[in-house]
Amino acid sequence: MSTTWTTRPERPEDVAAVRGINLAAFPTAEEADLVDALRADRDAWIDGLSLVSQAPDGSLAGHALLTRCHIDDRPALALAPCAVLPAHQRRGAGTAAIRAALDAARDKGEHLVVVLGHPDYYPRFGFVPASRFGIRAPFEAPDEALMALALDASRPVPSGVIRYAAPFGV
C-alpha cells in the first residue's frame, strides 16, 4: 500500500505524539528521553528542525530531529533520533521526515549534517562515510556507520571530532 506523507515542523501540541513515536519505535525510552532533553537544551534545539510525517488521516507516523553539534568548534547538525511508528515502518514515513528535515536545514543555511546509523539506509539521502571529510566521533564507531552530508557543496566541509550536544552524554 502506497501512502502519501505530509511533512511539517513539530508544533508544541505534537510533543506527546513525538514521544509516543519514539517510545514505540525503540525498545527502551532512551531515544524518547533524548528528544525531550534536546528540546530543553537551548544550545542544541533549533526551531523548525524537528520534523514530523503525517498520514492522510492527520495522525503523526514519523519523526526526524536535527540538533546543533560541532565539528571541533565549527557548527554542524546531528541527525538523531529518527523514528517511525511500527505500523508505518517501511512505507516512506521516515524517509519523508528525514528529507523534510534536510530541506529545512538547507533553507536555514546550515551546511553539514552527521549521522550514526545504518550504512545501507542513509546513503539514499546523500550521506557518505564521515571519514572522507576527516570527521571522527568522540567514541569508537564503525567507519561505514558514521556518515556526513554536505548540504552546500560550495562551502568547505570542516574536519575534526564531533562534539555532540550535552544530552547525548558523549
Average pLDDT over residues 145-149: 98
- For residue 50, the cross-strand partners are 65
**pLDDT of 130 above 90:** yes
Average pLDDT over residues 90-97: 96
**pLDDT of 26 above 60:** yes
| Neighbouring C-alpha atoms within 13 Å toward the C-beta of 158 | 18
**pLDDT of 25 above 70:** yes
**pLDDT of 2 above 70:** no
Looking at residue 156, its pLDDT comes to: 93
Q: What is the pLDDT of residues 3-14, one digit of tens each?
A: 689 999 999 999
Looking at residue 4, its pLDDT comes to: 83
Cell of 32: 524518547
Average pLDDT over residues 136-155: 96
Helix, strand, or coil here: 156? coil
Q: pTM for the complete prediction?
A: 0.96
**What integer best gives the mean pLDDT of the chain?**
96
Strands (E), 50-123: 50-54, 60-71, 74-84, 112-116
